[in-house]
Amino acid sequence: MTTVHQPTRSLTPLLAPLLIGGLVVLALGVYGRVHTPTGFAVGVAGFSAALPMKAWLTTGALLLAIVQVVSALSMWDRLGVAIPPAVHRWSGRLAFLLTIPVAFHCLYALGLQYDVPRVLAHSGLGCFFYGVFTAKMLALPKRGTPGWTLPVLGGLTFTALVGLWLTSSFWFFTAVGLKV
């Protein structure tokens, strides 16, 4: 009787990505807390104000993140439909790019706030989103990681973005309306 040995998958390759991701969370949180908010950070070209800009860009990022989930399921052969891997890569790139002006405005103009529970949750989720995204991107090229690495880190990234959308865009659309 012969025994087939599966290659051992170690957590060691994940240490650096997780540590760096944790440092990103910490750095963003500390910066957001100690930086004196300016009240203004980015131009809102095409939008009436900063809040509508942030709400709509975050909504775009969320829609692209849904494409990310569907295309990831396709790549892992969970749908029975082949979606080109380029769809996954480009939807992720575009989603991330849409979050940059939003995050910059949040951190630079508003800082990390904790006086309102919704805003505290939003601030924490924003820091977590960039930290877990960093860890996912750094873990992506690593060989020998456990098979759950990318689905878990990708799922956490998606969940953080959904939480960000709920505590910002959804709040804005329901409290203020569908302003542009």
In a domain, 120, yes or no: yes
Tokens read off for 121: 């949750």
What range defines the domain where residue 95 resides?
48-175
In a domain, 20, yes or no: no
Looking up tokens 């807390």 gives 33
Angle value at C-alpha 107, between 105 and 112, nearest 5 degrees:
135
In a domain, 95, yes or no: yes
Q: How many domains does the chain have?
A: 1
pLDDT tens by residue, 153-174: 999 999 999 999 999 999 999 9
In a domain, 75, yes or no: yes
pLDDT tens by residue, 69-112: 999 999 988 888 899 999 999 999 999 999 999 999 999 999 98
In a domain, 123, yes or no: yes
Tokens read off for 117: 């529970």
